[in-house]
């Protein structure tokens, strides 16, 4: 993978840039950017895999009216909870792809051996995860909410709440993904590890969304969500990097 060598600084010809000679070792920010672009490029090559978590989200939110009750008044009550549980599950689904392939082909090992701080690269991978899951979910959530009886005016609020909350979810999930690298059939274990830490996000996210749907002020829980996201940005990549190093030992 051409971008990997740019990150690690090894002398090699970049695809399409033969004749330029060995690239200089990338700066921290450049390395992170390269990892991000590489992951996005790879993800878009496997569009089927990309869509799976989003399709899952759509399915779950569609199943609830069928299982609970088609009455919009009743659905409006459960809509926040449904949205968030579905978002959490979809995020978990996508987590498996976050590190697995790179662990298999040795790319993660290259990252850890490169001079770049592994923490930054983990943050880059987590940002990718959010761009591919959280951001689309934040855009899909209002549609799901509308189908569950939410008023149109609540759409901006829902987008913001889900966007911020899924940032926290991606960060928390990256820790579990890093710790369960290489464990066969780790899906359930990953969920078991991620769930306790993401319950606060779930609780406050649902609360914020509920307030948004009702038309009340949702600033307080949203601020807590943001605080969790910020705490996650500072701490989660550290823990994820530690987890990756341990898994690669």
Partner 1 sequence: MNWTWFHRLASPPYIFALARRLTPWFGWTSGLLIAAGLYGGLVLAPPDYQQGDGFRIIYVHAPSAWMSLMVYTTMAVAAAIGLIWRIKVAHAVAASCAPIGASFTFAALATGSLWGAPMWGTWWEWDPRLTSELILLFLYLGYMGLRGSIEDTQRADRASAVLAVVGIVNVPIIHYSVTWWNSLHQAPSVMRLGKPAMPVAMLVPLLIMLLAFTLFFVAVLLVRLRGEILSRERAASWIGEALGS
Under the rule (CB under 8 A), what is the footprint of partner 1? 175, 179-180, 183, 186, 189, 192-193, 195-197, 199-200, 203, 235, 239, 242-243, 246-247, 249
Pick the closer one to partner 1 by CB: 80 or 243.
243
Q: Which is nearer to partner 1, 32 or 202 (CB)?
A: 202
CB 140 → partner 1: shortest distance, Å?
26
Tell me how far apart the alpha carbons of residues 65 and 178 are, in angstroms, rounded to a whole number. Answer: 36
Task: Give the shortest CB-192-to-partner 1 separation in angstroms.
Answer: 5
Q: Which is nearer to partner 1, 54 or 123 (CB)?
A: 123
- What are the start-end ranges of the H helices in 105-186? 107-113, 118-129, 135-147, 155-179
Q: How far is the CB of 189 from partner 1 (least distance, A)?
A: 5
Around Cβ 184, how many Cβ atoms within 10 Å? 5
Nearer to partner 1, 36 or 103 (CB): 103
Q: Count other C-beta atoms under 10 Å from residue 104's C-beta.
A: 11
Q: Closest CB to partner 1 among 160 and 181?
A: 181
| Least Å from the CB of residue 90 to partner 1 | 20
What's the min distance (Å) between Cβ of 198 and partner 1? 10
The CA distance from 237 to 174, in Å, is 8
- Enumerate the H helices of the chain as residue ranges: 2-8, 28-45, 47-67, 72-104, 107-113, 118-129, 135-147, 155-179, 187-214, 219-248
């Amino acid at each position: 993978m051409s971008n990997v060598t740019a990150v690690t600084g090894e002398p090699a010809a970049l695809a399409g840039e033969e004749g330029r000679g060995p690239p200089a070792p990338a700066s921290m920010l450049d390395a992170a950017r390269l990892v991000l672009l590489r992951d996005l490029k790879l993800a878009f090559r496997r569009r089927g895999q990309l869509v799976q978590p989003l399709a899952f989200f759509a399915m779950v939110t569609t199943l609830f009216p069928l299982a609970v009750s088609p009455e919009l008044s009743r659905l409006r009550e459960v809509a926040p909870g449904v949205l968030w549980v579905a978002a959490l599950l979809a995020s978990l689904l996508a987590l498996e792809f976050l590190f697995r392939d790179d662990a298999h082909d040795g790319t993660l090992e290259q990252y850890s051996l490169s001079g770049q701080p592994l923490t930054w690269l983990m943050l880059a991978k987590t940002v990718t995860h959010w761009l591919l899951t959280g951001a689309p979910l934040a855009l899909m959530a209002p549609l799901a909410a509308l189908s569950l009886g939410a008023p149109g005016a609540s759409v901006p609020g829902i987008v913001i709440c889900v966007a911020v909350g899924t940032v926290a979810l991606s960060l928390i999930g990256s820790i579990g993904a890093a710790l369960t690298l290489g464990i066969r059939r780790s899906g359930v274990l990953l969920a078991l590890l991620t769930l306790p830490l993401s319950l606060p996000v779930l609780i406050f996210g649902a609360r914020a969304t509920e307030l948004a749907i009702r038309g009340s002020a949702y600033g307080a829980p949203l601020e807590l969500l943001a605080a969790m996201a910020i705490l996650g940005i500072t701490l989660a990549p550290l823990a994820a990097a530690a987890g990756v190093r341990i898994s690669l030992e």
